[in-house]
A and B are shown apart, each in its own frame.
Chain A
Amino acid sequence: DGGITQSPKYLFRKEGQNVTLSCEQNLNHDAMYWYRQDPGQGLRLIYYSQIVNDFQKGDIAEGYSVSREKKESFPLTVTSAQKNPTAFYLCASSIGQGTYGYTFGSGTRLTVV
Chain B
Amino acid sequence: EDQVTQSPEALRLQEGESSSLNCSYTVSGLRGLFWYRQDPGKGPEFLFTLYSAGEEKEKERLKATLTKKESFLHITAPKPEDSATYLCAVQVPGSEKLVFGKGMKLTVNP
Contacts and interface: CB of A to CB of B under 8 A. Distances in A.
A99 B41 contact: no
B31 A104 contact: no
B102 A41 contact: yes
A106 B42 contact: yes
A108 to B, nearest CB: 10
Report the contact-size class of chain A (Cβ under 8 Å from the partner). Answer: 20 to 34
A40 interface: yes
A11 B92 CA distance: 32
A79 B17 CA distance: 47
B43 A43 contact: no
A99 B51 contact: yes
A42 B87 contact: yes
Contacts of A85: none
Interface string A72-112: 00000000000000001010101011011111111101000
B34 interface: yes
Contacts of A58: 97
A101 B34 contact: yes
B49 interface: yes
Contact of B41 (A45, A103, A105, A107): A107
Kindly list the 6 A-B residue pairs having the minimum CB-CB distance in the complex, ordered from nearest. Answer: A104-B43, A99-B32, A42-B102, A43-B100, A101-B34, A106-B43
Given A48-B96, A101-B49, 13 more contacts: A31-B96, A41-B102, A43-B100, A48-B97, A58-B97, A90-B44, A94-B96, A99-B49, A101-B46, A101-B89, A101-B91, A104-B36, A106-B42
